């Protein structure tokens, strides 16, 4: 029997003028953990929906590794997240995630990202978000992309604005025990403000395309009680 490619995302590489983005691997995750310890945001601010950077520093690294492993373990056509590690000059500087839920049917992706604080403000966040959007729209056939950010996250909002997203309502969330407005953002493919450069995609195989875009569930759902 011809065996399928069990993990086709391992060959994928997205290249922008300055960055190389590959789905997470263990060595890269250890570098990502080091970057998180150096600092992602001022301690008085919390840009993430889950306040994971507030973790006890003794367990932050292990928690980050376990989170990424749990995402890999749960990877399936009906719900997948590609956690791209962004490398600048061969060094991991942050991460750009992209999630699809029933993507073969919905044709919508959601993204989230962070960069080490020392790499912020140089256009790299825009470059890596533009990279996964170009991959989603032009290679995977996405029709919409989503993102979200807290009202005070000016850098994230500005990245979304530069790339053409529209505001799509607010939701109230509890962050560090306080209510905070979270802005939903939505980008239809035709409104994507493309960067001046062209994305280079390597290692996108038919097996990967099939895995990410499978139109039907791989296994029947379990019976509901």
Ligand X SMILES: CC(C)(COP(=O)(O)OP(=O)(O)OC[C@H]1O[C@@H](n2cnc3c(N)ncnc32)[C@H](O)[C@@H]1OP(=O)(O)O)[C@@H](O)C(=O)NCCC(=O)NCCS
Q: In whole angstroms, how close is the CB of 124 to ligand X at the nearest point?
A: 4
Q: In whole angstroms, how close is the CB of 16 to ligand X at the nearest point?
A: 12
Applying CB under 6 A, what is the total number of residues that bind ligand X? 20
Rule CB under 6 A: choose which of 62, 91, 158, 167 binds ligand X: 158
Sheet of 166-175, strand order: 166-175, 178-188, 144-150, 108-115, 91-101, 79-88, 19-23, 13-15, 200-202
What count of Cα atoms within 13 Å lies in the side-chain half-sphere of residue 203? 14
Give the residue closest to ligand X by C-beta: 125
Q: Is 165 helix (H, G, I), strand (E, B) or coil?
A: coil
Q: How far apart are CA 120 and CA 130, in angstroms?
A: 15
User: Does the footprint of ligand X cover residue 133 (CB under 6 A)?
Assistant: no
User: Does the footprint of ligand X cover residue 166 (CB under 6 A)?
Assistant: no
Q: In whole angstroms, how close is the CB of 20 to ligand X at the nearest point?
A: 16
- Cα torsion through 155, 18, 21, 57, rounded to 10: -50
Rule CB under 6 A: choose which of 14, 131, 149, 212 binds ligand X: 149
Q: In whole angstroms, how close is the CB of 153 to ligand X at the nearest point?
A: 5
With a CB cutoff of 8 Å and minimum separation 6, the contacts of 130 are: 16, 163, 194, 195, 199
H helix runs in 74-163, sequence order: 103-106, 124-134, 154-163
Q: Given the structure tokens 């875009």, which residue do they identify?
A: 213
> In the complex with ligand X, which residue's Cβ is closer, 52 or 75?
52
What mask of x and - would describe binding to ligand X in positions 39 to 58, judged by CB under 6 A? -xx-----x-----------
> In the complex with ligand X, which residue's Cβ is closer, 9 or 153?
153
User: Does the footprint of ligand X cover residue 126 (CB under 6 A)?
Assistant: yes
User: Does the footprint of ligand X cover residue 155 (CB under 6 A)?
Assistant: yes
Q: How far apart are CA 154 and CA 166, in angstroms?
A: 15
By CB under 6 A, what part of segment 93-122 binds ligand X?
A: 113-115, 120-122
User: Applying CB under 6 A, which residues contact ligand X?
Assistant: 40-41, 47, 113-115, 120-126, 149, 153-156, 158-159
């Amino acid at each position: 029997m011809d065996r399928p490619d069990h993990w086709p995302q391992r060959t994928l590489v997205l290249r922008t003028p300055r960055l190389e983005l590959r789905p997470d691997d263990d060595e890269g995750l250890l570098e990502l953990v080091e970057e998180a310890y150096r600092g992602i945001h001022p301690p008085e601010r919390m840009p993430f929906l889950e306040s994971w950077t507030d973790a006890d520093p003794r367990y932050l690294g292990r928690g980050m590794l376990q989170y990424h492993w749990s995402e890999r373990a749960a990877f399936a056509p009906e719900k997948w997240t590609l956690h791209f590690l962004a490398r600048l000059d061969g060094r991991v500087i942050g991460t750009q995630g992209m999630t699809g839920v029933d993507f073969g049917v919905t044709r919508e992706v959601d993204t989230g990202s962070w960069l080490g604080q020392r790499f912020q403000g140089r256009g790299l966040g825009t470059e890596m978000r533009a990279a996964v959007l170009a991959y989603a729209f032009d290679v995977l056939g996405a029709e919409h992309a989503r993102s979200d950010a807290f009202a005070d996250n000016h850098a994230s909002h500005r990245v979304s604005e530069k790339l053409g997203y529209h505001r799509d309502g607010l939701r109230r969330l509890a962050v560090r025990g306080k209510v905070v407005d979270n802005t939903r953002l939505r980008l239809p493919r035709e409104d994507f403000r493309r960067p001046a450069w062209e994305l280079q995609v390597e290692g996108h195989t038919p097996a990967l395309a099939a895995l990410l875009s499978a139109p039907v569930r791989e296994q029947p759902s379990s019976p509901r009680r």
